[in-house]
Structure 1
Amino acid sequence: MGKYKRVLLKLSGESLAGDQGFGINPVVVEAIGKQIKRVHDAGIDVAIVVGGGNIWRGLAGSAKGMDRAQADYMGMLATVINALAIQDALEQQNVPARVQTAIEMRQVAEPYIRRKATRHMEKGRVVIFGAGTGNPYFSTDTTAALRAAEIEADVILMGKKGTEGIYDKDPNQNDDAKKFDNISYKEILLRSLSVMDSTATSLCMDNDIPLVVFKIDDFENIYRAAIGEDIGTTVGGK
């Protein structure tokens, strides 16, 4: 596979926390920013969807009796904090970046407008999508699938902490876990593999969006995945 023309990078909130496990580690964000700059400098359009789990997890809140929608809105706001951190890291590297949010907050970011997002990328800007889809009950994985379809990204690059790709069972708990080099979306759904939630998986499957799952612990993998190196697990096909 040659290098992609337009990628959507899905970053978990946890990846911004580094070893501290919560919050934002500026050293980690800077390192991620440098790798995104490499992708940008290679002439690849970059869009980013970032999670908020390093600050707040909506599901955890609702599990403790909080209203689910309220907890999810809090999670969406957490993703905006992360998006602003990534924007700052990119601008420190002289990479022009724009944050677009699904919940309007004009003082800190543009509202999400698909055509404007595409135009930014055509002009060489990195676009960071915050606040999920703007709706409770939808994960940032689903946001990544939705935005990738909307901006016609060639691939979703999904960085996972602590795992090299997709396995037939949890590699952290099973020594005999086998890694897939390639797998179809249908098989992910049939095997109930926890790659991303079923809504996101179905959206990717229905719109033929390939997915590359790779280990985010080595930040250089962001660049390797974007230029089409054979790393992690590639998901595609029905």
Structure 2
Amino acid sequence: MGSVVRPYRRVLVKLSGEALAAPDGYWLHPQTLAELAADVAATVETGIELAIVIGGGNIMRGARMSQAGWIDRPTADSMGMMATVMNSLALETALNAAGVSARTMSAVSMPTICETYARQPALHYLDRGQVVVLAGGTGNPFFTTDTAAVLRAAELRCEAVLKATQVDGVYSSDPKTDPDAKRYDRLTHDEAIQRDLKVMDTAAFALARESRLTVIVGSVHSPSSVRAILNREAASTVVAP
């Protein structure tokens, strides 16, 4: 038998914080974390190197809080960054329990809690086969975790960004409300921006276009998974140059 050809060598996975929430609304669901960790373990076993960026929307969203008017956007975004650190530490713990060597690195310096993000050490961990969980967004207000994901992917020599969402790709409209919504198999960055497809913010798509990074959009909910999407066994939309 010939050797297995992996579609990607190194990928950054962008997860929403809401994906970790329990059905009763509590901000973390242990079973979901365990299932996600098992999925990541299965992906790593195929030889794909993974970095992960996770949002904090299950705890709070800085933009939404600032819109309420009683707190300014930079302060609210700083609180949101700390929420991503909490989620990242929880995911790191679940990954370690699943037998995956993982390390949380935060763009917001918290040296007594986790390592501060720096590019060279992160590259070193990835080269050793460790999963790097990247917390704190970009470390700056006004930037989403989508933009942070593309930025880190470009920095860390990733070949693709997997945006793990609630649906199995990019649609022409919301498939939950429009039965005629069309799923795209493939788009260019320009098409995604021009059609104002809301799967990632415009700044993230623009940075991906500039960096010539492939963006894959798919669902991590059963029967799909990170492993299945990256090994082309599950439906997804590929956004590429």
* TM-score, normalised via structure 1 length: 0.95
Task: Please name the residue that 1:31 is paired with.
Answer: 35
Q: Partner letter of residue 170 of structure 1? A: D
Task: Please name the residue that 1:58 is paired with.
Answer: 62
C-alpha displacement at 1:3, in angstroms?
Answer: 2.6
Q: Partner letter of residue 191 of structure 2? A: E
- Aligned residue for 2:133, secondary structure, equals strand
Task: Please name the residue that 2:23 is paired with.
Answer: 19
Q: Partner letter of residue 155 of structure 1? A: A
C-alpha displacement at 1:59, in angstroms?
Answer: 1.2
Q: Does the aligned pair in 2 maintain the 1:182–1:233 contact within 8 Å? A: yes
Question: C-alpha separation between the residues in 1 aligned to 2:48 and 2:179?
Answer: 37
Higher relative contact order (CA 8 A, sep 6+): 1
Query: How large is the RMSD of aligned CA atoms in angstroms?
Result: 1.4
Q: For residues 74-98 of structure 1, what are the alpha-carbon distances to aligned partners after superposition, in whole Å with 9 as ceiling and x for unaligned?
A: 0000000000011000100121111
Question: C-alpha separation between the residues in 2 aligned to 1:175 and 1:44?
Answer: 35
- Cα distance change on mapping 1:153 and 1:71 into 2, 3 Å: same
Q: Which runs of 4+ in 1 moved over 6 A?
A: none
**2:204 is the counterpart of 1:171:** no
Task: Please name the residue that 2:46 is paired with.
Answer: 42
Task: Please name the residue that 1:125 is paired with.
Answer: 130
* TM-score, normalised via structure 2 length: 0.94
**2:196 is the counterpart of 1:185:** no
Question: C-alpha separation between the residues in 1 aligned to 2:215 and 2:26?
Answer: 26
- Aligned residue for 1:20, secondary structure, equals coil
Task: Please name the residue that 1:229 is paired with.
Answer: 233
- Aligned residue for 1:77, secondary structure, equals helix
Q: For residues 118-161 of structure 1, what are the alpha-carbon distances to aligned partners after superposition, in whole Å with 9 as ceiling and x for unaligned?
A: 10011111000000000000000000000000001011111101
**2:144 is the counterpart of 1:135:** no
What does 1:194-213 align with in structure 2 at a 5 Å threshold? 194-213=198-217
Q: Percent identity?
A: 38
C-alpha displacement at 1:226, in angstroms?
Answer: 2.3
Q: Does the aligned pair in 2 maintain the 1:4–1:228 contact within 8 Å? A: no
Task: Please name the residue that 2:79 is paired with.
Answer: 74
How many residues align structurally?
236
Among 145, 149, 160, the residue aligned to 1:144: 149
Gaps of 5+ in 1: none
- Aligned residue for 2:103, secondary structure, equals strand
Q: Partner letter of residue 109 of structure 1? A: C
Gaps of 5+ in 2: none
- Cα distance change on mapping 1:174 and 1:75 into 2, 3 Å: same
Task: Please name the residue that 1:98 is paired with.
Answer: 103
Q: Does the aligned pair in 2 maintain the 1:35–1:219 contact within 8 Å? A: no
Q: Partner letter of residue 110 of structure 1? A: E
Question: C-alpha separation between the residues in 1 aligned to 2:32 and 2:195?
Answer: 34
- Aligned residue for 2:178, secondary structure, equals coil
Task: Please name the residue that 2:162 is paired with.
Answer: 157
Task: Please name the residue that 2:114 is paired with.
Answer: 109
Q: Partner letter of residue 94 of structure 2? A: A
- Aligned residue for 1:19, secondary structure, equals coil
Q: Does the aligned pair in 1 maintain the 2:224–2:234 contact within 8 Å? A: no
Q: Partner letter of residue 199 of structure 1? A: A
Question: C-alpha separation between the residues in 1 aligned to 2:26 and 2:161?
Answer: 25
Question: C-alpha separation between the residues in 2 aligned to 1:212 and 1:57?
Answer: 24
Q: For residues 88-114 of structure 1, what are the alpha-carbon distances to aligned partners after superposition, in whole Å with 9 as ceiling and x for unaligned?
A: 001001211110000100111111111
